[in-house]
A and B are shown apart, each in its own frame.
Chain A
Amino acid sequence: MSDLDPRTKIVSILCLSTLAVFLNEPWPLLLLFVFTLLILLFLRINFFRITMRFKKLLPLLLLMLIIQSIFTAGGEVLISFHDINILTSNGINSALCILFRLLTLFSSAMIIMTSSSKDYVLALTQLKIPYEIAFMVLVALRFLPIFIEEIKDTLVAIQLRGVDLQRIPWRHKIKFYTRFLAPLLSRVMLKAHQLAITMEARAFRVYRRRTYLRLLQYSVADYVVMVFFAIATIVVLARDFLY
């Protein structure tokens, strides 16, 4: 499946996230999430290892779920305190919906990682989008890690010059960060500028069109997967709206 056309992957991501947004019951959403996990497994992506990188966001997610379950009224009252309903069955329902919905959105987006960014440029150009714009997307994608690396390098350099970032109090820390934000941003801007120069110095945009080393071609598998996703999405949504 990792040999699938990037366009097919985009379609499948769109279908999965559409379903995740429109479905409104915990069980179908759980099913959808498990299905997405299976796809990831197929693509040899370890969902849990990647998720662990975001473990700092977990308390936030948990808090959101708790608030959601407390403020949703209706259904059977499970816990109450002096006539105030604290936890209802509807609350739990909607919290679970949100949880599975987020997980599905998050994990389906991971499908994108199985193709190289250059393939998405190809996909965009073959969808008749001007190549200048496609390359802008590519460079923007490449720039995110560069930006993160710049921040890391700056932080390391500051610490190596004798500043114990872990030990300075919060208030000072924020002041500290803002002080280095401007030079950092101008450095990134400079890099972007130099990158633009490099690209043009290699004859970028010299002609109105350009050729490509590889061209994307749909295989039978692509058609099968795309038709499957499209039909499944339409059927599920139609059933949902008819009720």
Chain B
Amino acid sequence: MDAIVVNQLSYSYQVSGRQILKNISFKVAPGEIVALIGLSGCGKSTLCLCLGGIIPHYLGGELTGRVSVNGKDTKEYKVAQLALEVGLVFQDPDTQLFSPTVEDEIAFAPENLCLPVEEIGSRINKVLDILGISALRKENPNRLSGGQKHLVAMGAVLALEPAILVLDEVLAQLDPVGKKTINDILLDLRQQGKTILIVEHDLETVSIADRVLVLENGLLLRDGQAETVLADREFLLRHKLECEV
């Protein structure tokens, strides 16, 4: 079974009526790392919201077509139930942190899953350890720096241990050490058979991907092997995905 199935997905916002996604179809197999690239405003974030079921459950507008994650149709399941399959890390860390300490923030998801106390504790330790933020355990998340907040938000979702992980421009605000840490984690997760979708601008950071999807003005422009797409300089330059500096 495919991890992610997107079938003829179109979406337009309620207010402006502008069509953000236009008839998009693709599938992602388990254990694949897929990078989603495209210019600002091309609909990448909107697509992420569709995968987590936030569209249509939270944001109004018109959605046609079908999105399913691990066989669950996003229209039929609640966001919380979809969260059992897909973990979403959003762009803005400030709206993702609400607990008094980093530890509580990471504990939140496993607590919702009704895991036993020992399991929650071991997940926290594991997540803090692989992200290299054990020293921040008792800190107030709101007092951390921008990059550290991103790591905590990432940790809070990793503690869910979802089969599918969606990262919306998480790497952009991290220093080289942080980027390397996340890359290693992603490669490790792939080894465990998890599916990962990363949204990024920087072509270097998406080089760990197996496959690349290119979005332009809401259309799926290209879907191909990472090496092929990233090596096609002429294509990348033409669509402003890479620029001569």
The reply, when asked whether chain A contacts chain B directly with Cβ atoms under 8 A, is yes
Q: Which residues of A contact B (CB under 8 A)?
A: 116-118, 138-139, 142, 145-146, 191, 193-207, 209-215
Looking at chain A's contact residues, the main secondary structure is helix
> Is the contact region of chain B dominated by helix, strand, or loop, or is it mixed?
helix
Pairwise interchain contact B109-A197, C-beta atoms closer than 8 A: no
Interface string of B203-232 (1 = CB under 8 A from A): 000000000000000000000000000000
24 A/B residue pairs, CB under 8 Å, sorted by A: A118-B99, A118-B100, A138-B98, A139-B98, A142-B99, A145-B142, A191-B95, A194-B90, A197-B54, A198-B90, A200-B83, A201-B83, A202-B157, A203-B80, A203-B109, A204-B108, A206-B78, A206-B84, A206-B113, A211-B117, A212-B117, A213-B104, A213-B117, A213-B121
Known: A194-B95, A203-B112. A211 touches B90 (CB 8 A): no
B100-139 interface with A by 8 A CB criterion: 100-101, 103-104, 107-117, 120-121, 124
The answer for the CA separation of A204 and B120 in the assembled complex, in Å, is: 15
- A211 and B81 in contact, given A116-B100, A139-B98, A202-B109 (Cβ under 8 angstroms): no
Q: Indicate if the CB atoms of A210 and B114 lie closer than 8 Å.
A: yes
Q: Is B36 positioned at the interface, with any CB of A under 8 Å from its CB?
A: no
Residues in chain B near residue A206, CB distance under 8 A: 78, 80-81, 83-84, 112-113
Chain A residues positioned under 8 Å from B79 (CB to CB): 197, 200-201
Q: Is the CB of B95 within 8 A of A198?
A: yes
Question: Is there contact, CB below 8 Å, between B95 and A201?
Answer: no
Q: Which residues of B contact A (CB under 8 A)?
A: 52, 54, 58, 78-81, 83-84, 87-88, 90, 92, 94-96, 98-101, 103-104, 107-117, 120-121, 124, 142, 156-157, 160
Q: Which residue on A lies nearest to B82, using beta carbons?
A: A201
A213:B124 contact, CB within 8 angstroms:
yes
Q: Which residues of A contact B95 (CB under 8 A)?
A: 191, 194-195, 198
